[in-house]
Every structure is written in C-alpha cells, then in structure tokens.
C-alpha cells in the first residue's frame, strides 16, 4: 500500500534527523527500558519545565541572531524581532539551528544553547515559560499522546461544537478514521498544525509515527 511505503520512507528520514538531533525520543526509550513494568505514576510521563520567550530572547536571539535578523537587516529574508515572527518560521529555525547546526554562520550555537532552544521548541515555543510539559513514555496510547501534545497542537482547533475543517479528532476512533488525511497533512503536505501555531517537534513526530506503525493502540 502506498501509505505504508510513505510511512517507511518518512520513518527512515526521521530516524536520521532524530539521531543527529539526539532528541527526547531516545531519552524516552531509555527511560521506558529502565522501567519495563511501566508501573506506577512515573510511567505516566516526566515533568519538565520549558523556558519562555524572554529567556530565549535574552540568551539566544539577542546575542546570537538579531544582529543579522532584524527589521532593518533581514538576512536570508528572516526577521526575528518578536515572538510572532519567530513562531511563524519555527520549522526552518529548528532545522538550521538544532538539526543542521549551521546558524549562526561559523559553527552554530554552543551546545547548551542549542539544547535550550530545542526544549523551547519541543514545548511548542510558548511565550510564558515554566509550564510543565508531560513527556510521553511507552507504551504509547492515544490518551497519552493527546495529553502531551495533540491537545495543544491539534485538538485546540479540531474539537468542540464547530471543529475546524469539520473534523473532530477528540477520540481515538475519530483520529483513526481520519488517519490517512492526518498523515498527509502533517508529513506530506505539511499544512498542519496551521501556522502560526508551532509545528510538531521532531520528537513528537517520531512518537506519532511510531504510534501509527504500532497500529494506533488505544
């Protein structure tokens, strides 16, 4: 089936990217190995605090980016003056700074700042930091995915009395019925989540792909 071969191809590419970015996914895997019974509240997920935009601006954008990417001099067509502009280009920022590591020119960011930027983007590039982000641990279930990132990044528009695109994705059943369209919207057409809301992070995409390949467990 065509969709299966697409899943495999995207899966292989994502595995490469994830390896380079040393993403949360590996940490999650290691954690679940340490806790093979999956028992107790720790199996529900680890709480992490995400940085906020002010911290990202003062530690990273101000000292390392704004000299070239501001309203007067938008090199590469990129202005990083405020959070809306940054969120609107979050995918390409992630790609160049976290994955490829070639921005700023001449070696990229120091490793600790790269990690900090990554955790901010993984948290959904929020304005206010300190929010506790629940990391998903195995075994993956629809509810865990929903709690961790689908709620904030998809269900916020695709639920309620008048869901966007007339597509309610609140339950596993509704999600699975629309899986082909969802897969295409995220991985092929890349139209969802709708800009300027932040995209799914690389680790969230990996987890979603793995959940699909496991047969979308309940």
Residues at the site binding ligand HEC, with contacts judged by CB under 6 A? 60, 64-65, 67-69, 75-78, 92-93, 96-97, 103-105, 109, 153-154, 156-158, 164-165, 167, 178, 181-182, 185-186, 191-194, 197, 200
Segments in the chain forming alpha helices (H): 2-21, 24-34, 53-56, 62-64, 83-88, 90-93, 111-122, 142-145, 172-177, 179-183, 202-213
Nearer to ligand HEC, 179 or 214 (CB): 179
Both structure tokens of 193: 């989540």
Q: How far is the CB of 30 from ligand HEC (least distance, A)?
A: 26
C-beta of 26 vs 96, nearer to ligand HEC: 96
CB of 88 to ligand HEC, least distance (A): 11
CA distance 164 to 142: 20
User: Which of 169, 139, 137, 126 is closest to 151 using CA atoms?
Assistant: 169
Select 38 or 196, whichever has its Cβ closest to ligand HEC: 196
CB of 135 to ligand HEC, least distance (A): 18
Nearer to ligand HEC, 40 or 107 (CB): 107
CB of 77 to ligand HEC, least distance (A): 6
- In angstroms, what CA-CA distances link 95 with 91, 101, 123, 188? 6, 8, 16, 17
Nearer to ligand HEC, 44 or 178 (CB): 178
Dist CA 107 CA 35 (whole Å): 38
Q: How far is the CB of 185 from ligand HEC (least distance, A)?
A: 4
Q: How far apart, in Å, do the first and last CA atoms of the chain sit?
A: 23
């Amino acid at each position: 089936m065509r969709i299966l071969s697409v899943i495999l191809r995207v899966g292989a590419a994502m595995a490469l990217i994830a390896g380079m970015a040393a993403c949360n996914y590996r940490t999650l895997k290691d954690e679940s190995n340490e806790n093979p019974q999956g028992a107790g509240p720790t199996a529900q997920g680890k709480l992490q605090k995400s940085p906020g935009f002010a911290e990202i601006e003062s530690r990273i954008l101000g000292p390392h980016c704004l000299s070239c990417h501001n309203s007067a001099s938008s090199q590469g067509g990129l202005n990083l003056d405020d959070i809306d502009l940054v969120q609107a280009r979050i995918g390409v920022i992630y790609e160049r700074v976290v994955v490829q590591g070639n921005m700023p020119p001449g070696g990229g960011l120091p490793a600790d700042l790269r990690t900090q930027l990554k955790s901010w983007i993984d948290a959904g590039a929020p304005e206010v930091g300190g929010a506790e982000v629940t990391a998903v641990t195995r075994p993956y279930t629809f509810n865990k995915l929903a709690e961790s990132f689908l709620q904030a990044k998809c269900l916020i528009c695709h639920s309620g009395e008048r869901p966007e695109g007339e597509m309610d994705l609140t339950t596993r059943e509704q999600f699975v019925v629309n899986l082909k369209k969802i897969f295409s919207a995220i991985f092929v057409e890349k139209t969802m989540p709708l800009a300027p809301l932040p995209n799914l992070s690389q680790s969230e995409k990996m987890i979603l792909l793995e959940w699909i390949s496991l047969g979308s467990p309940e």
